[in-house]
Amino acid sequence: MELSKNFEPSTTDEKWYQHWMNKGYFYSKPDERTPYTIVIPPPNVTGVLHMGHCLNNTTQDILIRKARMSGFNACWVPGTDHASIATEAKVVAMLREKGISKSSLTREQFLEYAWEWKEKYGGIILQQLKKLGCSLDWNRTAFTMDDDYYRSVIRVFNDLYQKGHIYRGKRMINWDVKALTALSDEEVIRKETNQKLYHIRYAIDGSDEGLVIATVRPETIMGDTAICVHPNDERYRHLHGKHAIVPLINRKIPVITDEYVTMEFGTGALKVTPAHDMNDNQLGQKHGLEVIDIFNDDGTLNADAQIYVGLDRFEARKKIAAELEEKGFLVKTEDYTSEVGYSERTDAVVEPRLSLQWWVSMKAISKPALEAVMNEDINFHPAKFKNLYRHWMENIKDWCISRQLWWGHRIPAWYDNEGRFVVANNEAEALEKFYEQYGVDNPVLKQDEDCLDTWFSSWLWPFEVFKGYSNPGNAEIQYYYPTNTLVTAPEIIFFWVARMIMAGEEYMHAKPFNDVYFTGIVRDKQGRKMSKSLGNSPDLLGLIDKYGADAVRFGIMISSPAGNDLLFDESSLEQGRNFNNKMWNALKLVKMWEARQSPGTDTTANFAVNWFESRLNEVRTEVDTLMKQFRLSEALKTIYSLIWDDFCSWYLEWIKPGFEQPIDPGVYNKTLDFFTDLVQLLHPFMPFVTEEIYQLLKPRQDDLCVKQFPPIGSSNADILSNAVLLKDVITGLRDVRNKQQLKPKETIELFIDSSNNATYSQIENILAKQVNAASISFTTAQVADAISCVIGKDKFYIKTERPVDSGQQRTDLEKELNHLKGFLQSVEKKLGNEKFVQNAKPEVLALEQKKKSDAETKIRIIEESLAAL
């Protein structure tokens, strides 16, 4: 079989994924093995694969494949989130295209369209994960609105309500005027925004005086019910207890005092609008102020505003500012920058609003979740996120869980015509409870119109995908829970991670996972977060088609240290593709030798074989440690260097037979074993190219996907050290050949002046072949008419048929000498620093002293060579 010029993922990726699926390698069921479980952070049903998904799911796949090949019963659970706000917006848009408005439909009719949309589009992202090579157990695909899951969400609501942890209350909330729903604090993104600060004059009732306030929201003056000043502010002491007149609508409002006001900000006078500002609302409650809500749900002004009724709030701002200026109330405007809240989903400016909503009281249920992380029962990687988590948990606020939407889990509360209500699991239970609670038989009840926050369902994800709450104590929940690792992004540490820990502790009485690995955020080369609006988010499926899944996985992982943002550059995918082709070319080279085997033909390769075996074991140990520490990017870089540098650039060159020469079968078979071990080590990171190479190396009865890692052997430190010496000498001598413009075919005579002749005897044959030396001799004296050089602590003399240019030699040696003297000076300066010597670790100090000793030895040798010249 003739191999293609380069690795061709277009013909390979789908072939192997389908093969693995047909073999059932991703399927898991409880057995005698130790489980290794990951639950996917469920992507929204509206989602399409992007670079963030690529990073997150590649990371999970690496962990799950490594576990599967290490003897664990690997279970990776796929699924999707119903995503209330995002999905409802998609359905409303679809209906609009058909000329249908949501308001013209009943709830049931709208939900029929929503389910139709979900069935058509909701699974797209899961299918796309297959193209990335994700080895999920597709038989377990879950959805947050599956029947059992839905019932569990409703039961949890009932349980928390019965325990007193859920209540209904009128409080200030974040209102999304575009999605027409309440938002939790965590769903609000605060952004620095350029605005105008308007200085507005309020007349004082019964006098010619005025009071100037500064505000960025002149459109809310119609909701003002007081002006507040600091009690110690001498400028306004004479106005205490008086009244001001709201411009344009002439409402009389009191001047009140409170230490909350900052005298130095603006004018030191604050307009108080309890209906439309969180802090103003608290002031209003404290001082018993009237609350006047001037906005409709969609952010337009309502009748209570009295003016510009029906106008959008930002359009009203312009009109009101113009009228204030026209009528002499606007003193001045100035540029001003401050943080403004935006809806995470719709990017609309959030409107603070007083609203009757459902809430979870968080203090009581959050304590076990805080302790689990701080006591390291759950480990964060990187650990720096513990402090962020602790700060949020110690300052936790109640969670607004009601959303004014139809798509989602409907709040299980039923009301009668008088507004009395009960919370129940279903309507039949509600009727019974109503009779028990209110003594009313067969009342006419209506269920709450609102839905629950999407996160109220996804916080059950780690146990409910195994039906841990809907079917308590079942075999699967007992086997797979707690799960092993959660891979997620830091921005949902509060939305999801913290809440899953709370739910796990509350309902399973156990943590939901052992480890949390936080990926970074994928940014473009300019450091900007990728988004559709910026047009800087590449088409991931297009990149997979162009480079192949392995190259994309390599490109995203090679530059993604845990917890740190990564700057995505398509060149890293090119590097991945080049890596594929490097291995492919190595495969072609090795296969060329298959028919050229002859016993006992070459003994020079023994050192190469022994070295690479030690080097492979050394790297396997290092990679194993890095993987346990979740340093996946570093593990990949280590494997990459082992394959590209050690195997392809050194080992294969050292064992390569001469032109039309045979190769020893023992060396050939050992090389196949090494290649097998290398692709196995790389497989979790790049599954397709490694499986293809594994199958082509020699006839197989198994698949790499499930091949178990062999035990890690020992490394020989002396052989590893000798190989480093060999590589340094080959590199140094090749450099000398290039400088002397010796052609590769020109042979040399090599003389070595070293105190370590025994080591050179072991590597002599490989060294001769690599630098094209016809002979190698050992000497302790200057060799006449030879090019001399110093590599490490040893002197080398090269004889050629060409005359020696001693002037060039002197120049090269003096250049090297000056460099070494500068280096020695810097090391001596460091060792002469008492503070460094006192504080440095012993191993660091020893390393610096070794640098000094080595530099001094090299300087002495070069000076001797110069003297001889």
pLDDT in the model for residue 185 = 82
Q: Is the peptide bond before 687 cis (omega within 30 degrees of 0)?
A: no
In tens, the pLDDT along 792-808 reads 889 999 998 876 666 76
pLDDT in the model for residue 811 = 78
In tens, the pLDDT along 596-646 reads 888 875 667 889 999 999 999 999 999 999 999 999 999 999 999 999 999
- Most confident listed range (400-414, 752-766, 823-837): 400-414
| Mean pLDDT, rounded, for 125-134 | 94
Comparing 678 with 815, the larger pLDDT belongs to 678
pLDDT in the model for residue 1 = 67
| Mean pLDDT, rounded, for 206-217 | 92
- Please give the full DSSP string across 457-515, using - where no structure is assigned: HHTTHHHHTTTTTTSTT-HHHHHH-SEEEEEE-GGGIIIIIHHHHHHIIIIISS-SEEE
In tens, the pLDDT along 751-776 reads 999 988 999 998 999 999 999 999 99
| Mean pLDDT, rounded, for 335-352 | 91
Long-range contacts, 595-601 (Cβ 8 Å, 24+): 596/657, 596/661, 596/662, 596/663, 597/662, 597/663, 597/664, 597/665, 597/668, 598/662, 598/663, 598/664, 598/665, 599/664, 599/665, 599/666, 600/664, 601/657, 601/661, 601/662, 601/663, 601/664
Beta bridge partners of 748: 773
| Res 455 pLDDT > 70 | yes
pLDDT in the model for residue 249 = 95
Confidence of residue 66 (pLDDT cuts 50, 70, 90): very high
pLDDT in the model for residue 866 = 73
In tens, the pLDDT along 427-452 reads 999 999 999 999 988 889 999 999 99
| Mean pLDDT, rounded, for 646-661 | 92
pLDDT in the model for residue 176 = 93
In tens, the pLDDT along 219-260 reads 999 999 999 999 999 999 999 999 999 999 999 999 999 999
Q: CB-based contacts of 673: which residues, under 8 Å, 6+ apart?
A: none
| Res 532 pLDDT > 70 | no
| Res 40 pLDDT > 70 | yes
Confidence of residue 861 (pLDDT cuts 50, 70, 90): confident
Share of the chain above pLDDT 90, in %: 74
CA atoms within 13 Å, Cβ hemisphere of 28: 33
pLDDT in the model for residue 572 = 94
pLDDT in the model for residue 187 = 84
Confidence of residue 816 (pLDDT cuts 50, 70, 90): confident
CA distances from 53 to 90, 510, 522, 777, 801 (A): 20, 28, 10, 60, 62
In tens, the pLDDT along 637-652 reads 999 999 999 999 999 9
pLDDT in the model for residue 461 = 98
- Centre a 10 Å sphere on the Cβ of residue 103 and count the other Cβ atoms it contains: 6
Number of residues in the chain = 869
Confidence of residue 148 (pLDDT cuts 50, 70, 90): very high
pLDDT in the model for residue 264 = 85
- Centre a 10 Å sphere on the Cβ of residue 607 and count the other Cβ atoms it contains: 20
Confidence of residue 491 (pLDDT cuts 50, 70, 90): confident
Share of the chain above pLDDT 70, in %: 97
Q: CB-based contacts of 661: which residues, under 8 Å, 6+ apart?
A: 596, 601, 602
pLDDT in the model for residue 55 = 94
- DSSP alpha helix (H) spans, 122-223: 124-131, 147-162
In tens, the pLDDT along 285-295 reads 999 999 999 99
Long-range contacts, 810-813 (Cβ 8 Å, 24+): 810/866, 810/869, 812/739, 813/788, 813/789, 813/862, 813/865, 813/866, 813/869
pLDDT in the model for residue 328 = 94
pLDDT in the model for residue 869 = 64
| Mean pLDDT, rounded, for 1-7 | 88
Rounded distance, CA 105 to CA 453, Å? 22
Comparing 386 with 819, the larger pLDDT belongs to 386
Confidence of residue 49 (pLDDT cuts 50, 70, 90): confident
Average pLDDT, the chain: 92
pLDDT in the model for residue 345 = 79
| Mean pLDDT, rounded, for 300-329 | 96
